[in-house]
Amino acid sequence: MSLERVQELRDQLNFHIHRYYVLNSPVVSDAEYDELFHELRRIEEANPEWVTADSPTQRVSGLVADAFEKVAHTAPILSLANAFNGEDLHDWEGRNRRHLKDDTAADEPWDYVVEPKIDGLTVVLTYENGRFVLGATRGNGEIGENITQNLLTLWSLPKRIPVDRESDLQVPERLVVRGEAFFPLDQFKTWNKGLEDAGEKTYMNPRNAASGSLRQLDSRITAARPLTMFCYDIVDWDGDVPEMQWDRLQYLKDLGFPVAPETIYAKNIEAVATRFEEWIELRNRINYEVDGIVVKLNNKSVADQLGFTGKDPRGAIAGKFPALEKTTKLLDINVSVGRTGVLAPAAVLEPVELGGVIVRNATLHNFDEIARKDIRIGDRVWVKRAGDVIPYVVGPIVDLRDGSERPIEIPTNCPSCNTLVVRIEGEVAVYCDNPSCPEQLVRRVEYFVSRGAMDIDGFGSQTAELLTNLGMIKDLADVYYQDRDALLELEGFKDKKVDNLLSGVEKSKEQPATRFLTALGIRFVGEVVAGILLDEFRTIDALSEADQESIEAVHGIGSGTAESLVRWFANEKNQALLTKFREAGLQFSIGEKPEAPEGGLPLDGLTFVITGTLPSMSRPDAKKLIEANGGKVTGSVSKNTNYLLAGEKAGSKLTKAEGLGVNIISEEQLNELIG
């Protein structure tokens, strides 16, 4: 036990922390890391005088502050002017060149660095003699708050630089680095869901969560949250740092700071504009929120020469993306009935522009969610449109209420047919249970003819809606009983259109029974489930006669699905419907089960469970392989399991299999079994 060993352990641990949290490529297992960590802790416990604040054991201090101390920044923490498109970016360069017109730099080629504009919380990190000594918020740019204790809990923040002790990089005596702390999106979602499940207040977005987490007086709270950061600037230093922004970022990386991997070098402003375009798509693929790009002149001395307009440096600009989240007023709600009878509430909004689209309606998911978030009519709400998803209401801004807001009530009657609605226990949805509900029928017909179901050429949603509303379709089977003359009477239905429609309808009679079963729109019975069911029962009639127990016994079918099927087939109206379909000539059977090849398949009658990461194939591929050879794959280990196919990092399934004495095999042994 020596101070030397302590230093060695700290260096090694810091190296591994950096590999794991900054480079995402650890070189030791968690167990090896733990061993080093525990050794260090043991020595420190025996020699408390050796403990330092930057020791990896001191990530969480347990120190609770009363308030954040104010700190003056040694250099102003600036903000940026905005550009919104490629033209603005070109104009920006033009203005800058004119500004330097008397200087030789004005005529030289200018190159840039294009970084993501991370939507998090600015942090200002001060290092003295390579040690992290102070972490602050931006505050007003001149004075921020001391959040050192909280920042110490971030794994990705180097406590000592260079992280690599062997590195011969020179670090200035004082180095002030700027970065942005944020929540990775996937972890934000899981974490926020956890809060929700625990009945706690959730965060509206990752940015608020990051800012809330760093402003905790008890750093143990911060430590428990998945915060990380990227660094992008050196704001102050004494001594030498590289002259070019691109080299500075490389230097920060070499010191051990995390730098956004999406950062690029752009040789001119055209390349910058191209990158701006690329980001429209890239934005949806990365695991953190960005609200734009930041474009920086690579040559810092030219940037310095350019100076400022007001508070904004001329040498950098933010290229802002269209906002995908804004606030607006919730004017009303609209309740519609889906094809399965579920009542779906939708928000009627004061129109708001989101990413170039005027949004007037947004989904509110279901009534449970409305109650949970306490959304009221008249509320100012956050609306979000992300990627390709339908805009949705994130939640209300409770502080802006003036008392005139009205709670949203769950309808007692169906908005289309006025039937009393039902709630099924254990489900959040509210249903209209009337099979002849007009709006439900429109939605069911739409689905029946759609691409994923019967795929009827020439029969679109509009036709479905028109014929149903006119009463020419009173049930799904009426799709096959349309009269040519009656169709010709309809506005816009000329000979050709009607012929196309009728021939599409006729052709669809040949669709396999699996599609037909899917198209019926029975709750929980989509394409995959329909396939599994017919694979077992072969005909829709056999399925119709099956009881709950035998349906549930089919592997891959749950009790909810079985219940829904039994309920559907027990309904007389549905039986009459099936008769009508049969008379029209639809396919009710998928034919006999193909004979197993002579001698059977190698895995016939064997049941497998797959767990862990396999060396050469994915789990779905392994499942396909087993099934193609006659075996069955189930999700959980039981005494009926013949083999557990286990890969790396196998967890509880492995333990269970061992307990039950199930054979445990590797991918290689599986291949031997198949031969």
Residues lying near ligand IVH in the complex (CB under 6 A):
78-80, 115, 117-118, 122, 180, 232-233, 294, 313, 316, 318
- CB of 179 vs ligand IVH, minimal distance in Å: 8
CB atoms within 10 A of CB 652: 10
Minimum distance, C-beta of residue 178 to ligand IVH, in the bound complex (Å):
7
Q: At what angle do helices 206-214 and 185-197 cross, to 10 degrees?
A: 80
Our CB check for ligand IVH shows the closer of 229 and 269 to be: 229
436 burial type by CB count under 10 A (0-12 exposed, 13-18 middle, 19+ buried): exposed
Nearer to ligand IVH, 93 or 233 (CB): 233
Report how far residue 622's alpha carbon sits from residue 72's, in angstroms, rounded to the nearest whole number: 60
Pick the closest to residue 90 from 287, 270, 248 (CA basis).
270
H helix intervals, 74-166: 86-99, 148-151
Least separation in angstroms between CB 115 and ligand IVH: 4
Q: Which is nearer to ligand IVH, 266 or 622 (CB)?
A: 266
Closest CA to 432 of 445, 413, 409: 413
Q: Which is nearer to ligand IVH, 222 or 263 (CB)?
A: 263
Smaller CB distance to ligand IVH: residue 316 or 554? 316
Closer by beta carbon to ligand IVH, 303 or else 534: 303
Beta-strand pair 131-137/121-128: antiparallel
- Report the C-alpha gap between 263 and 260 in whole angstroms: 6
Cα-Cα-Cα-Cα torsion 247, 253, 257, 263, nearest 10 degrees, comes to 70
Closest distance of CB 83 from ligand IVH, Å: 12
What burial class does residue 351 get, using C-beta atoms within 10 Å of its C-beta: 0-12 exposed, 13-18 middle, 19+ buried?
Answer: exposed
178: number of Cβ within 10 Å? 19
Tokens, residue 183: 């929540």
User: Beta strands 406-407 and 343-354: pairing type?
Assistant: unpaired
- DSSP label of 49: G
Cβ 291 to ligand IVH, closest distance in Å?
A: 8
Q: What are phi and psi of 234, to 5 degrees?
A: -110, 115
User: Which is nearer to ligand IVH, 244 or 337 (by Cβ)?
Assistant: 244
CB of 82 to ligand IVH, least distance (A): 8
Query: At closest approach, how far in Å is the CB of 153 from ligand IVH?
Result: 20
DSSP letter at 69?
Answer: P
CA distance 359 to 346: 12
CB of 117 to ligand IVH, least distance (A): 4
First to last CA, the chain: 57
The string over 69-92, giving b where at least 16 C-beta atoms fall within 10 Å of a residue's C-beta and e elsewhere, is eebebeeebeebbebeebebbeeb
* Shortest distance, position 26 Cβ to ligand IVH, whole Å: 26
Among the listed residues 70, 101, 117, 497, the single catalytic one is: 117
What is the C-alpha separation between 563 and 561, in angstroms, rounded? 5
CA distance 493 to 246: 64
Q: Which is nearer to ligand IVH, 259 or 383 (CB)?
A: 259
Three-class SS of 503-552 = HHHHHHCCCCHHHHHHHCCCCCCCHHHHHHHHHHHCEHHHHHHCCHHHHH
Nearest-approach distance from CB 525 to ligand IVH, in angstroms: 48
Nearer to ligand IVH (CB atom), residue 252 or residue 670: 252
Instruction: Label the pairing between strands 607-611 and 643-646.
Output: parallel
**Using N-to-C axis directions, what is the helix angle for 3-21 and 30-46, rounded to 10°?**
150
Q: Which one, 258 or 313, has the nearer CB to ligand IVH?
A: 313
CA distance to 271, 424, 523, 544, per residue, from 560 (Å) = 55, 11, 9, 16
Helix axes 619-628, 667-674, angle to 10 degrees: 20
Q: What angle do CA 553, 559, 560 make, to 5 degrees?
A: 145
Strand, helix or coil for residue 488: helix
Nearer to ligand IVH, 78 or 417 (CB): 78
Does the active-site annotation cover 117? yes
Least gap, CB of 74 to ligand IVH (angstroms): 15
Enzyme catalytic residues? 117
